[in-house]
Amino acid sequence: MEESRRPHLVVLSGAGISAESGIQTFRASDGLWADHPIEAVATPEAWTRDPERVLRFYDARRDQVRRARPNAAHRALAALETPGFRVSIITQNIDDLHERAGSRDVLHLHGEILQARSSVDPRLRYPLRRGGIRLGDVCDKGSQLRPDVVWFGESVPRFGEACDIAATADLLLVVGTSLAVMPAASLLEYVPLDTPCVLVDPEAHALAPPGVVRLDRPAGEGVPALVRHWRREGRLWVPETLFE
């Protein structure tokens, strides 16, 4: 089948899709930012002020990611990558659970925790197959390595690429994000006007912008149900009554 004829599902995922895998979200009352102020661990100023604290913060998150396993939502999206459907994942997450579930087209808007990069040349990246980053670990140019993640106040280098992908969506599936962070949340504005959009999140009723179909379900329940429906129907659409 030609690429252009397969229905194209574009997914925008956030921390909520990995919650059932045991990875903390950010803005819940017991979320990551409740224990670690953003300005202390996830900004360029924090890196300049106390790089050791920043490295420890990301080492702890990297350990959590390595202990985690993809859940039913990650696996369902990977299973949809059949000759019948094209699936593009645009994730705000820095974990590798989409890839480990088998998704082959994953764009990380906010970087990847299992990679380090030079603090002077972002083109110099180094996979972290085991362990973390220590003060004194340097890139080929002799500069300290840092987590390959986008900090608050930094630009999102791959956002333009994500917009181009969103512009070719036949359906946009938004899963597990509070839509609190820009420019990621504005991706909904880049899908074609008549493209349906569904939001899967236990708080979807409170979060979904106008015109977005709400599925107030955890990702591990809502996403597999949608994927079963799409595979059975052979097309992407959002039924009003998915759960009776």
Residue 15 as a binder of ligand APR (CB under 6 A): the answer is yes
* Residue where the block lists tokens 């329940």: 221
Q: Which of 8, 9, 26, 166 binds ligand APR (CB under 6 A)?
A: 26
Task: Rank residues 92 and 119 by Cβ distance to ligand APR and give the closer one.
Answer: 92
d(CA 135, CA 126): 15
Which residue has the CB atom at the shortest distance from ligand APR? 16
Question: Binding segment for ligand APR among 3-11, 24-32, 53-61, 138-146 (CB under 6 A)?
Answer: 24-32
Q: Give residues 87-106 in contact with ligand APR (rule: CB under 6 A).
A: 92
Q: Is 14 in the site for ligand APR (CB under 6 A)?
A: yes
Binding mask 157-176 for ligand APR (x = CB under 6 A): -------------------x
The verdict on whether 8 is a catalytic residue reads no
Q: Helices H, strands E: what count in the chain?
A: 10, 9
- Phi and psi, residue 230, nearest 5°: -65, -40
| 133 makes contact with ligand APR (CB under 6 A) | no
Measured CA to CA in angstroms, residue 224 lies from 58, 155, 202 at distances of 30, 33, 15
Task: Please report, as a single letter, which amino acid is at residue 107.
Answer: L
| Residue 203 interacts with ligand APR (CB under 6 A): yes or no | yes
Which residue bears the tokens 């994730």? Answer: 91
Q: Are 75 and 19 in contact (CB under 8 A)?
A: no
Residues annotated as catalytic (active site), given as ranges: 110
